[in-house]
Amino acid sequence: MDESTAEPFVNREDSTSGVLSAGSASKRRLKEKLSNSKLKEKIQNGANSRSETGFSLQDRLLTKLLQQVIPSENIEDVLDLPPDKRSSKYIGRPGFSIPLMSTNFRRFNSRIGIVFVFQTRLIRLLTWRNPTHTISLLSICTFVCLNPYLLALLPLAAALIFVMVPAYLVRHPPPPPTRSHNIYSLNGPPLAPPRTIKPAPEMSKDFFRNMRDLQNSMDDFSTLHDTVLKVITPLTNFSNEALSSTVFIFLFVTTCTLFIAPHLLPWRLMALLFCWTSITLGHPSVRGFILHNRESHLRPHERRAQSLLDSWIARDIILDAPPESREVEIFELQKRRGGRNGEWESWIFSHSPFDPLSPQRIAGERPKGTRFFEDVCAPRGWEWGDKKWILDLGSREWVEERMVQGVEVELEGERWVTDLVADDESNSKTTKAI
């Protein structure tokens, strides 16, 4: 009785996939095809066969094709980017490879059965398939909620009940009811070999059962992911700033409350109500009652609560006022060279008119500004609201407001303001844009 029996963990409660549930002709055809290509033999040989013969020809061809498509150089080296610490060359992990991905998937699928067994049993427990088991779960939850120190007992009790006791019963099976109890003695030597856990053989029914459960789990995760994003994203991404601001206020107030006075809340009672409510809602009768009366009883309350929330948001949530806008004036300065008959040439764009009596002009300094109009920047902390500039034709008004002396103003055209200075080099004219 020293030899051990190996058995994989697989969820066998539902039917397998269509490949395995087909007729005998389909099974023979599948087996014949696999035997002709020797794929089944290679997969069942496992790691020893792969170490001797290497990967299949199809994997090698696909790897060669990917090597031609994917650049051999790292993108960090090509673009001279800072190194990414998540890269495989910094953490010693292999890069992407189709043969390695295929091997790891087969290994993973052979060993994932225990997760699906736990998932199936948990669903059966929460959906009241066996009411006595669910009531037992409610009793355990009640004890744990009323006495949280029992949480340290749960892992030990689970190891005893679900690991040690079943392993002992495998080696010391109980006597069958049709035979005499004197043949089987619980105090004697073991009557059966110990049970060990092995991966599900590839191309077996258990292997395809794991693939079926893995496929369904991926679909469930994708559906849950999209549903959660559909509900949470509008509340938190500030697409509706009033609603997201309300959520932020509630979270902030709740955080401050729990930080200051968590000891005043009845945590045990709250945990007990949460557990009982969650498990009770899984009962088929309760679910049917809620779905049947949702439109007639729950929908009106939902609409009333939504209207109250919307009215509170519209009344109390005040967003930031529109940004302040200011008007900016830019003066275009031109110089004339070659005497009174010379041509005017563009000189500089400045924030001041550079009139003859200005301090900079008297000191002989150059006006501050830029040569090109496109280089005019907004003041620090501001940005341009509109790129369209308007030529100010009211030159006489701003000349009189600034009390500019020694200039003449055009009454037609672009309304240039020209110096009345005899020196040709310092002769200039100004116009303003706003």
Cα separation of 246 and 63, whole Å?
Answer: 53
Q: What's the confidence (pLDDT) of residue 19?
A: 37
Residue 45 has pLDDT above 80, yes or no: no
Q: What is the band of 264 on the pLDDT scale with cuts at 50, 70, 90?
A: very high
364-384 pLDDT per residue, tens: 888 888 888 888 888 888 888
Cα separation of 56 and 42, whole Å?
Answer: 9
- Tell me the two tokens of residue 386: 């509109």
Q: What's the confidence (pLDDT) of residue 151?
A: 92
Q: What's the confidence (pLDDT) of residue 388?
A: 80
Which of 8-12, 259-263, 324-328 has the lowest average pLDDT? 8-12
Q: What is the band of 39 on the pLDDT scale with cuts at 50, 70, 90?
A: very low
For 152, half-sphere exposure in the C-beta direction (CA atoms, 13 angstrom radius) is 2
| Alpha carbon distances (Å) from 411 to 18, 183, 352, 401 | 92, 127, 21, 17
What's the distance, CA 154 to chain centroid?
33
Instruction: Lay out the sheet containing 344-350: strands in order across.
Output: 369-370, 344-350, 330-336, 428-433, 417-419, 407-409
Q: Residues 333, 355: contact at Cβ < 8 Å?
A: no
Q: Give the DSSP per-residue string, 142-183.
A: HHHHH-GGGGGHHHHHHHIIIIIHHHHHHHSPPPPTTS-TTS
Cα separation of 112 and 250, whole Å?
Answer: 41
Q: Indicate the pTM of the whole model.
A: 0.59
> Higher pLDDT residue, 311 or 355?
311
108-156 pLDDT per residue, tens: 999 999 999 999 999 999 999 999 999 999 999 999 999 999 999 999 9
Q: Residues 84, 76: contact at Cβ < 8 Å?
A: yes
**267-306: string of b/e by CB count within 10 Å (b at 16+)?**
eeeebbeebeeebeeeeeeeeeeeeeeeeeeeeeeeeeee
Assign 204 to helix, strand or coil.
coil
Of the candidates 42, 59, 38, the residue with the CA atom closest to the CA atom of residue 50: 42
